[in-house]
Amino acid sequence: MNNQAVGKFGAAYEYSGFWIRVGASLIDGIIILFATYPLLYMIYGDEIIHNDTLVIGGADFLLSYVMPFIATMLFWFYKSATPGKMAVKAIVVDAATGNSPTIKQCIIRYLGYIVATLPLGLGILWVAWDSKKQGWHDKMAGTVVIRPKNKGVEKVEFAGS
């Protein structure tokens, strides 16, 4: 895939850069926080606020780790994007074909986030200077994140105008 990829609808795409991907991740993080924190608070009360352990119990593990993993896999596999990426019109695709990522690629990409963040986030920051805007998780999974070149507001024609 070159610096310009052709999507399944024939629209020209470009690689999504670092800051737009940070914005998408922030949106995803806020959604996950609003989905999980009230449930965790109902289950654990103030302990969820004042506890500094990685996992308090089974419900914490399920809501904080398993549920986001499953949701992300489903979004990547069926929509090629999480809600945050959808908000910025970005999609995750196979770097070689431009098709939606496979389940294997989705799992490798998700686990690749761990590898990418361990050395002080270097693998995530890599997006900023990589020619294809790939982080280490993208390179491991063979994926790229793209968005339409024309990101502006679409012109709407009204009947009678």
Residue 108 neighbours by CB under 8 Å, 6+ apart: 137, 140, 141
At residue 15, φ and ψ (nearest 5 deg) are -70, 140
* Per-residue pLDDT, 50: 86
- For residues 110 and 100, give the distance between their C-alpha atoms in angstroms, rounded to a whole number: 15
Q: Band of the pLDDT at 8, cuts 50, 70, 90?
A: very low
Neighbouring-strand partners of residue 14: 147
Q: What is the widest separation between alpha-carbon atoms in the chain?
A: 63
List, for residues 97-115, the tens digit of each pLDDT value. Answer: 889 999 999 999 999 999 9
Q: What is the mean pLDDT of residues 114-139?
A: 95
4-to-7, 79, 132 alpha-carbon distances in Å? 10, 21, 10
Q: Band of the pLDDT at 136, cuts 50, 70, 90?
A: very high
- For residues 78 and 32, give the distance between their C-alpha atoms in angstroms, rounded to a whole number: 18
